Amino acid sequence: MITDLLVQQIESYLPYAPNRQQCELLQMLATFVLDEHNDTLFLLRGYAGTGKTSLVGALVKALAQLQSKVVLLAPTGRAAKVFARYAGHPAYTIHRRIYRQKSYSPDMEGFLVGENLAKHTLFIVDEASMIANSSGEGAVYGTGRLLDDLVEYVYSGEHCRLILLGDTAQLPPVGQERSPALDAAVLKGYGLTVWEYELREVARQAAESGILSNATRLREEMEQVPLPMPRLRVKGFPDVEALSGEYLVERISDSYDRVGLDETIVITRSNKRANIFNQGIRNQILYREEELTAGDLLLVAKNNYFWGKEYKELDFIANGDVARVVRVARRTELYGFHFADVLLYFPDREVEMDARILLDTLSSDSPSLTREQQEALFTQVMADYYDLTTRREKFKRLKTDPWFNALQVKYAYGVTCHKAQGGQWKHVYIDMGYIQQGAALSLDFYRWLYTAFTRATEKVWLVNVSEQFLEQPL
């Protein structure tokens, strides 16, 4: 009886009548929410167009109406902003919620998994496909295994439980073949009882969208063995268009005028291709001659734990965060590298911050500094501390050195798909040039194309797309 009342409450926040699958899910979610067991987790996998977003938004609103405690989390600041918008409830990065800085001592640096003081609280995590579970960058945060730390944090709280939301057709974390947070077997390994549901039925209104129609087709084709050549539908859909490169400057310029720089993105297969687009956009559309000017959009290329520590809104500055240059104060050449002191505005966190950035990565074809460059900078900076007698003292000083810890950034007009993941833009330009047939017949390419398509909320342009990828010739 109570379950039915909760289902009705959730349905009252839906903008449409739920289909059969959605009704099943609502019943299951309501039962889970009211369940008294502490060691349960709900895994909801849902593809683009199946209504996962609106269903979860309705659940959050219903629980808020009933004054139930809910915490919304996402892997990145951009994803948290999107989640908050559709759920009508504040959302935060996982890092900001679950980690706390270690007390200062010479032996302690970085962040620990914090104590979960919440009680009887439901933690809902969106974009779970992005959650990695392999140590990286020296485990500055907790164990370095984000999924492990998230589960440990949530279930250490009194009657706190977790709902994970994600899409298995999207790209998994870098270097992993599948998303561990969407794998029920991995989750059961924590000793939890896993409730799981997969939304596959595309809502009627979604089928009328060219963006979602193509995303659904890609998802269905990626399940076939062997993989067929992707065939995209352009004709008959006003929201998907094939675009020759000769018209690209004109169209992107029009997008900037109509929806703005913040709502327009070019998605590429590589950092090298992103670099080409970024240079072209700055030179031919924005007419920026200097290497860096106020108004430039920048993409953080490597996690940074130094510059954000004084700002509670930033927790840390993550690989993939976007910032707008407000002011360029000073440029310096030192240690064989080029730096600039700037004032940055982070739109996803709504905070301004002074920082020193490394200019050498702006136009580099590598994702961030190469290993050789990083070692060269390390050696040069360490030489400044020749007067310190122990290596430990030198490393301690290095961690507070503003030159060594300069933000590594790239331009943010064109980005790789992993960098775009978790975000949404009104206008998305997908770089389809120079894609070989062999590369196209891979699961990685399908996931890349699916993830790129599903970043768009209004329109997709397929730039320099070969007719081999089109259902009908142009």
Contact status, residue 383 vs residue 404, Cβ threshold 8 Å:
no
Structural domain spans, the chain:
2-203, 205-289+414-469, 297-410
Rounded Cα distance, 179 and 281, in Å: 34
Domain 205-289+414-469 and domain 297-410 have a common topology: no
Predicted TM-score (pTM) of this structure:
0.93
CB atoms within 10 A of CB 310: 9
Give 297-410's CATH code, choosing from 1.10.150, 2.60.40, 3.30.1360, 2.30.30.
2.30.30
Say which CATH architecture domain 2-203 belongs to.
3-Layer(aba) Sandwich (3.40)
Tokens of 152: 């440990």
332 CA to centre of own chain = 32
Superfamily (CATH H level) for 205-289+414-469: P-loop containing nucleotide triphosphate hydrolases (3.40.50.300)
Per-residue pLDDT of the chain (474 residues; tens, 9 = 90+): 789 999 999 999 999 999 999 999 999 999 999 998 999 999 999 999 999 999 999 999 999 999 999 999 999 888 999 999 999 999 999 988 998 876 544 444 568 899 999 999 999 999 999 999 986 655 567 778 999 999 999 999 999 999 999 999 999 998 889 999 999 999 999 999 999 999 999 876 667 899 999 999 999 999 999 999 999 999 999 999 999 999 999 999 999 999 999 999 999 999 999 999 999 999 999 999 999 999 999 999 988 888 987 777 776 788 889 999 999 999 999 999 999 999 999 998 889 999 999 999 998 888 889 999 999 999 999 999 888 888 888 888 888 899 999 999 999 999 999 999 999 999 999 999 988 877 888 999 999 999 999 999 999 999 999 999 998 776
**Which backbone phi and psi does 255 adopt, to 5 degrees?**
-60, -40
Rounded Cα distance, 94 and 295, in Å: 29
pLDDT on residue 438? 78
Question: Judging by DSSP bridges, how do beta strands 407-411 and 297-300 pair with one another?
Answer: antiparallel
pLDDT on residue 104? 46
